[in-house]
A and B are shown apart, each in its own frame.
Chain A
Amino acid sequence: MQGGELRQDDLEPVGLDWSNLKKVKPREMLVRFIFGAAVALLAAVVGSLAGPKVGGLFLAFPAILPASLTLIEKKEGITKAWSDASGGLLGSVGMAAFAATAMLLLRVNPILALVAALAAWLLVSVGLYLFFRVTGLFLRSDRLFRQSP
């Protein structure tokens, strides 16, 4: 894994480039659909058999990540796959914000709760990303986990 490649990628401007979608193969999306549907089913079945709280655990199960990371490694190399997982780490903090917001607001207004929960996920994930990017914390945190310099 190349530290230079990692830093170079980090310097790219943040944004969405919809033209990248032309490279996405329908088969890759089908795999993600199947995994997503399977986890939703699993959460529902476990919830009815073992209780809703146990079912809820599977709402934060990383079912898609192995497929995503493997595809990224195959197409763009191990550094990009590592980088994607590193972003997932910040996204999982956002996921906690999503769950906490939903938990607190569901009884007040369920529609508002889900909209606010999604906003909380976006705010916390993107906020953390920008904080790490601006302060250079990515470089420090990378040193903790990376094997190569």
Chain B
Amino acid sequence: MHIVVLAAKAIIGGLAVVGFSLIGESARPKRFAGLFAAAPSVAIASLAITVLQKGPAGTVPYAQGMLIASASMLAYCLASLVLIERVHALVGSLLSWIAWVAVAGGLYFAFGR
């Protein structure tokens, strides 16, 4: 893959995350702010550049993968709700990655291939 495309995806993805984070920081109450923690910030930047690079047809599989992983994002948040109170935010949110990997992997092998 061309290094310029990779760099563009990284920079625009990072900036999109910062943009949504700033909206989240200014939002209240906290539960409403949490919506922006699950904003498709990396996705919008990445899909836009992929459209330019590979065209719409080449971008669709990325969106399909993302749809599968949305279920694992849900699993991640459910796991973090259970774990944060028990082992605090850092450990709880890191351990919840296991739920993301398990659900994303499981759904991909079951339906995604």
- Total residues of chain B contacting the partner, CB 8 A: 83
Q: Is the interface of B mostly helix, strand, loop or mixed?
A: helix
State whether the Cβ of B27 lies closer than 8 Å to any Cβ in chain A.
yes
Q: How large is the interface on A (under 10, 10 to 19, 20 to 34, 35 or more residues)?
A: 35 or more
Q: In the complex, what's the smallest C-beta–C-beta distance from B94 to chain A, in angstroms? A: 5
CB closest chain-B residue, reference A13: B28
Q: In the complex, what's the smallest C-beta–C-beta distance from A51 to chain B, in angstroms? A: 7
Q: Are B60 and A106 in contact (CB under 8 A)?
A: yes
A residues neighboring B (CB under 8 Å): 1, 9-21, 23-24, 29, 32-41, 43-45, 47-48, 51-66, 68-70, 72-73, 76, 78, 80-96, 98-100, 102-103, 106-107, 110, 113-114, 117-118, 121, 125-126, 129, 138, 145-148
B residues neighboring A (CB under 8 Å): 1, 5-6, 9-18, 21-48, 51, 56-74, 76-78, 80-82, 84-86, 88-90, 92-94, 96-97, 100, 104, 108, 112-113
